[in-house]
Amino acid sequence: MPFEEAGSRLDQVLARMLPEHSRNRLQGWIRDGRVEVDGVAADDPKRKVRGGERLRLMPEAAPEETAAEAEDIPLAVLHHDEDILVLDKPAGLVVHPGSGNWSGTLMNALLHYAPAARSLPRAGIVHRLDKDTSGLLVVACNEIAQTDLVRQLQARTVKRQYLALARGVVRGDQLVDQPIGRHPTQRTRMAVVSGAREARTQVKVRERFARCTLVECSLETGRTHQIRVHMAHLGHPLVGDATYGGQRGEPVFGRQALHAWRLGLIHPRTREPLSWESPLPADFADLLDRLRKERT
């Protein structure tokens, strides 16, 4: 350490010596004991230095730098060939690493299950499900398949059907054709916004209960939170959906009641139409059982 730094704070000295790192990151490393001053771990970023001390830094990779690491996370694989992988995602599993979820994601699991996915953008993931939505996802295993699946999504030949439990009594089958964009004031939410991207959801009533309705939703487009936003726009937010108003006057459920139960597509190589179905997970099935018992 330069003698000219005498009297300066340790975090300020490191910030000047290591401008490639943010002050916040350096302060975190000091508090974590990753900075030694003359062989002794420092734990106070405000510590004053004498100048001339020997510094040793043991940096820790930022979360975003280690997000693409393989992790041994169990996957429920329904189909796997040289081109595509179809799996049944449990509720609670984040698809892509991001702020607050830099590890333990579906992408980390895919890199362990199929190491070759590392060569593909987003490990071959071509569409997503929200963290607390369960159900079917298709993943590409090579660049040709990934390109084809993206084109199928754009051409709407990938068929995605969901089961959702909505609050209140949905009046009947209907097409919701309302554009969806970022909420104008609450940036973590989506909303029906005039002039935003086209969004179309087919809603079919499957079963009615006293306080809610089981519906089947088919996506014609794939906007973020599309089903959740469209059902809330109809005045029937999904049961358990705290983000879009689905927690009042309804059965208690720990997540949004949404399950991707059916997936259909054209195989990228053989051009054969394929489809898969996923049974309701236990929590969703138990919720419906309770509602049916209340009705009898």
Measured between alpha carbons, how far apart are the two ends of the chain, in Å? 78
Quote the CA–CA distance of 214 and 251 in Å, as a whole number.
13
Q: Can 11 be counted among the known catalytic residues?
A: no
Around Cβ 74, how many Cβ atoms within 10 Å? 9
Which structure tokens are listed for 41?
């771990």
Among candidate residues 130, 132, 148, 241, the one labeled active-site is 130
H-helix segments, the chain: 10-17, 23-31, 106-113, 143-155, 226-233, 282-295
Which structure tokens are listed for 4?
């000219």
Beta strands in 72-230 (DSSP E): 77-80, 84-89, 134-140, 159-167, 174-177, 180-182, 190-192, 200-208, 212-219
The catalytic residue positions are: 130
